[in-house]
Amino acid sequence: MRVAVIVFPGSNCDRDVAEAIAQVTGKQPIMVWHRETTFFDVDLVILPGGFAYGDYLRPGAMAARSSVMRHVLDHAKAGGLVLGICNGFQVLTEIGLLPGALLPNAGMKFICKPVKLKVTRTSTPFTGSFTKGQYLDIPVAHHDGNYFAQKDELSRLEDNEQVVFRYENNPNGSINDIAGLSNVSGNVLGMMPHPERAMVHGKTRGDGYKLFNTLMEMIR
């Protein structure tokens, strides 16, 4: 599996996710600086967590307009896989690859804690080896994870079964408990929880590992 991790000046989970990928695939992903204008040919593009441009203006707003994103759009439109984690999810909504927007948490505070996620869509390359209704333990760490979509948009994405993960105990006020969302065809996934922080669970493999491993098997 060939993977690219996009690095914005304020990304701070880029190294963590690159190491998670290396752990699963045995291969270092390529790190792509946000100003990159030349094409890179990979199976999966990851938009990592962090504060791409300090979250100034709106989280993800400026990152969505950087030059590398044109390639990410083309890659997604051609059916390539895109995973946006936390800040990456915010970038994906800002650029319109995913519907809706991420608002400040209802409690107006940053939240860093483990959460339980329910898998609600398995027809994506990210979740193909999970079963519907299965629970995953993956932590969140964000200030703006409160997913919002206007009514008709929301019913449309529910009808299309685009919701991939829902919170068991909603930590941030997200509408319909949405924690992770894909596009209709399932090749683009945005999620607030951090799978790269769930690589181990005690002495065994964590659910984040399982998610990346699923991806690798799906592609192979």
- Report the interface residues with other proteins, using CB under 8 A: 9-10, 12-13, 15-16, 19, 49-51, 53-58, 61-62, 65, 93-94, 99-101, 103-113, 139, 141, 143, 146, 148-150, 173, 194, 196-197, 199
Residue found under tokens 């898998």: 119
Q: d(Cα 31, Cα 37) in Å, to the nearest integer?
A: 14
To the query of whether residue 86 is one of the catalytic residues in this protein, the response is: yes
Give whole-number Cα distances, 135 to 17, 167, 183, 189, 206, in Å.
Answer: 22, 9, 21, 18, 12
Edge to edge, what strands does the sheet with 135-142 contain?
30-33, 3-7, 44-47, 81-85, 188-191, 178-182, 163-167, 111-119, 135-142
Closer residue to other proteins (CB): 203 or 220: 203
* 63 closest CA partner among 39, 85, 87: 87
Closer residue to other proteins (CB): 29 or 80: 29
Could you tell me the smallest distance in angstroms from the CB atom of residue 154 to other proteins? 12
Closer residue to other proteins (CB): 122 or 188: 188
To the query of whether residue 143 is one of the catalytic residues in this protein, the response is: no
Could you tell me the smallest distance in angstroms from the CB atom of residue 193 to other proteins? 12
- Catalytic residue, from 86, 94, 142, 143: name it: 86
Could you tell me the smallest distance in angstroms from the CB atom of residue 157 to other proteins? 13
